[in-house]
Chain A
Amino acid sequence: MMLRLKAKALDFYTYPPIGGDDWRYGYAAARVRALQTQMIPKSTLVDMANAGTFEQAAESISTTEYIPVASKTLAELEQVLIAQRRSLREQFARLMIDNSIVKLFKTRDDFANMRLAVRRRVTDKAIGTDYSSQGNLNPEIFEEVFEQEKYELLGEHIQNAVEQAILAYYTDRDICRIDHIIDRAQAEYNIQTALKMKSEFLTGLFSIKIDLTNIITMLRLKFTESEKRKVFLPGGYIEIERLKQAVDTEYDSIGQLFYATPYYRIVSVGANYVGTEKSFLKAEQASENHLSGYLNTTSQITSGPQPVIAYLLQKEKEIRTVRLILTAKKNLLDKKMILDRIGE
């Protein structure tokens, strides 16, 4: 499975190009721009993190659409945020004119469902129906698909992923292999689809995501002293050899390996934090910031799918951040921990 990419890491300074305008998206892009102004600004998030109690933190966002989160238990909070994410995705589907892009982003949930379903299949558990219903595939068919092995009902790309994952599990007897195979299939599918759509922005987006995932994976492999090396995803701008080399390098000098890439800061800050604090908070924060930076470049686009996609991803991140802060506040976690984690 060869992946062909237009740009290499040296062809751009920090962020890959995002492509041009598409004038069909005038309404969507403008609407999204207005919606972006209603997102929670960084200063409010910092206030929330610094708030003394859960109630005070919830109070900070009481003027936004997150009103119902105040004075709730964590389980209810979770439900509120899931509902919010659902309505966000519905809005995204309405604003997107190209249905293929909507489908592409819904596939995330399909792959997530597959991770669960394949696990249950190989350990002979009941397949069940408690899956995310926001994918392209209806979770109700899973029982039939997995019990009668009619994987062709899942569509070609998922069928391949599932079959390979099951095979890999039986070869290595390792649950992790399922995830590795599906992660890889998902990354490949994303890049291939983006290339097929000739979307510079999506190609760049998925490549950056793959790179960031690979970098964090590299740090995690190093931290857990794992011997696994086949887990890096193909399709990023960074060569996998470099990542493999980085796993065997000291924390202080990992950054040097990435000096020529746009990820130098992420790697060096992240690696140092892992080395000293035994935690990935900074690495995750830095990589989220990098992705946000790329998404923010879409504000150059007056009209096009790019700002709409960027809005979806930024808003999803915002929902995660709100959940993170409120959970942390409810459990009386350290302020520093929260501040080290939340991005820009």
Chain B
Amino acid sequence: MDFGMALALVGAGLAALMAGIGSAIGIGIAGKSATGVLSEKPERYGQMFIMVVLPGTQGFYGFLAAFLIMLKLNFFGPEGAITITTTLGWQILAASLPIAFAGLFSAIHQGKVCAGGILMTAKRPEMAFKAGVVYAVMVEVYAVLGLLVTMFILLKGINWPTPV
């Protein structure tokens, strides 16, 4: 186990961790608002469900990025993990950062947007999808962009050594 591998694992960890924290906070915010509205209007459950789970996607993206790194490092292959140079390690860490931070912040803010959407749904249920979900999805776009950059770097930008 050398320094390169450590950096790669920090990258994988960061991707899953940061995006996961973001999603947890985001769902927490949206969930609190949703329960608040539901305690008075339980019939709105269906409309709110999607807004509560939307901030959860960032966690998945982070997990996906982390999983991809692990896959590329050949954790699950019969030959065992590949050995990587320190430079490669830095590259992998850099690749994980877009989704880690985009995930963290976009999830929190998406949570707030969703909470706002949920509050609006309490008053104007017909706008739930038109505004509430669409606006939340706009925040989602930037998490997706982060994920895309991470994926491009991992898949195209890095010259992976073949496992021995």
Contacts and interface: CB of A to CB of B under 8 A. Distances in A.
A34 B39 contact: yes
A33 B112 contact: no
Nearest to B40: A34
B54 interface: no
A293 interface: no
B29 A303 contact: yes
B122 A30 contact: yes
Contacts of A26: 29, 31-33, 36, 115
Contacts of A27: 32-33, 35-36
B111 to A, nearest CB: 9
A197 interface: no
Most buried by B among A21, A27, A34, A37: A34
Given A23-B29, A37-B122, A302-B119, A30 B36 contact: yes
Interface extent on A, as a size class?
Answer: 10 to 19
A134 interface: no
Nearest to B123: A37
Contacts of A34: 36-37, 39-41, 122
A169 B29 CA distance: 53
A33 B116 contact: no
B37 A33 contact: yes
B36 to A, nearest CB: 3
A29 interface: yes
Contact of B33 (A29, A36, A38): A29
Interface extent on B, as a size class?
Answer: 10 to 19
A35 interface: yes
Contact of A31 (B36, B112, B116, B123): B36
A33 B48 CA distance: 14
A33 B31 CA distance: 15
B34 interface: yes
Interface in A68-83: none
Contact of B32 (A30, A35, A38): A30
Given A36-B123, A38-B40, A30 B112 contact: no
Contacts of B112: 21, 23, 302-303
Contacts of A36: 122-123
A58 interface: no
Contacts of B123: 33, 36-37
A49 B77 CA distance: 79
A29 B119 contact: yes
A302 B33 CA distance: 9
A177 to B, nearest CB: 46
Nearest to A303: B115
Given A21-B112, A37-B122, A302-B112, A30 B37 contact: yes
A28 interface: yes
Most buried by B among A21, A26, A27: A26
Nearest to A34: B40
B41 A30 contact: no
Interface string A271-284: 00000000000000
A31 B119 contact: no
A27 B38 CA distance: 10
B15 interface: no
Contact of B40 (A21, A23, A35): A35
A232 B93 CA distance: 66
A26 B114 CA distance: 11
B7 interface: no
Contacts of B122: 30, 33-34, 36-37
A38 B29 CA distance: 24
A31 B118 CA distance: 11
A95 B112 CA distance: 20
Nearest to B31: A26
Interface of B: 29, 31-37, 39-41, 112, 115-116, 118-119, 122-123
9 contacts: A26-B31, A26-B115, A28-B36, A29-B119, A30-B122, A31-B37, A31-B40, A34-B41, A34-B122
Interface of A: 21, 23, 26-38, 302-303
Closest 9 CB pairs of A and B: A30-B36, A26-B32, A34-B40, A31-B36, A30-B33, A27-B36, A34-B122, A302-B116, A27-B32
